[in-house]
Amino acid sequence: MIDLRSNSDSGPLQQMAEKLREEAAEAPPPPATEEVTKETQIIAIYGKGGIGKSFTLSNLSYMMAQQGKKVLLIGCDPKSDTTSLLFGGKACPTIIDTSAKKKLAGDQVTIGDVCFKRDGVFAMELGGPEVGRGCGGRGIIHGFETLEKLGFNDWGFDYVLLDFLGDVVCGGCGLPSARDMCQKVIVVCSNDLQSLYVANNVCSAAQYFRKLGGHVGVAGAVINKDDGTGEARAVADKVGIPVLAAIPADDDIRRKSAKYEIIGRPESPWGSLFAELADNVATAPPLGPAPLDQDQLLGLFDGSDVGRDVVLEPATLEDVAGPQQARRKSLEVIYDRGV
């Protein structure tokens, strides 16, 4: 090992040691006192598959843009369907596919290859592997690595909305909370047990990473297809997060979204709902939720709805292997005695 403290060598090594001492002796720059002029809010949205995350985000991002905000919507689901409503059903080239094609051609990916816009909303899809041919979480990680190379951290958006597939058990899907890549998380749910189970899991993941030193919190829930039965509000209240908006189970909304029509417009009958959601999303602080255990979650539902009257009956060896197998004393192989 070379000792930089030695004065026996007046050559390059000693000069480097002196330079390091000079740098160490320099006083750090004073803390910034200027007013922060702009800070990007990065918000990750989770929810069970088919619950309406893409519908909610497309209309939310559109409304935010109409309010004068600079918004980037990023689809982080391998299905690459987040931006389909925003672009009238048209498929958006994904970062994963574009990056692979450019690499084969010896070219570099540019922003114009993967980022597209409509009426002030900027949008892109990370994409993922083909069905059964790779890890969706790894595709998400690769997509964000590409975004960083494109200068994502310097783009200066007011809001970046990340649409993630529902489960957070995968490292790639849990990326925003695990690596503090966003400030807050929002869950989209409905009044059914399965979507609320996923929402509760998201709260559990956020709280887990906060205990490890992370800072990402849950800002609240959006209830989609709200039929007024109240289970989602009860879960949100128990977990300790606000309801940011309740989008009704309305046939007009269903028909228009099925035709890839944006309803989050100021002049739309639903404009005020999405304007209020935009305001709530902007101002809701990241909270540390108190996730429920399985019994607490089931306890918010009527027993007949979730099958809590079922009794666990232990199985026997005879049940699973049949009477003959159950009577066998061992797996010892018995050979013919005449051999």
What are the tens digits of pLDDT across the range 148-200?
888 887 888 999 999 987 665 565 566 677 677 789 999 999 999 999 999 99
Residue 257 lies in a domain: yes
Residues of the chain above pLDDT 70, percent: 76
Q: 3-class SS at 76?
A: strand
pTM over 0.85: no
Q: Which residues contact 148 (CB under 8 A, 6 or more apart)?
A: none
When pLDDT is averaged across residues 36-55 and rounded to a whole number, the result is: 84
Residue 279 lies in a domain: yes
* Predicted local confidence at residue 128, as pLDDT: 66
Residue 9 lies in a domain: no
What are the tens digits of pLDDT across the range 259-278?
999 999 999 999 999 999 99
Distance CA(273)–CA(130), nearest Å, equals 37
- Residue 47: what residue type? G
What are the tens digits of pLDDT across the range 120-152?
999 999 886 666 656 666 667 777 888 888 888
What are the tens digits of pLDDT across the range 294-336?
888 888 876 666 666 777 889 988 888 877 765 666 656 666 6
Residue 108 lies in a domain: yes
Residue 25 lies in a domain: no
- Residue 213 in contact with residue 249, Cβ under 8 Å? no
What are the tens digits of pLDDT across the range 218-253?
999 999 999 999 999 999 999 999 999 999 999 999
Residue 304 lies in a domain: no
DSSP string for residues in 106-144? T----HHHH-EEETTEEEEE---PPTTSS-HHHHHHHHH
Q: Based on the structure, what is the number of domains in the chain? A: 1
Q: Which structural domain, as residue segments, surrounds residue 123?
A: 41-298
Distance CA(275)–CA(65), nearest Å, equals 11
CATH number at residue 72: 3.40.50.300
DSSP string for residues in 316-327? -HHHHH-HHHHH
Residue 323 lies in a domain: no
Residue 322 lies in a domain: no
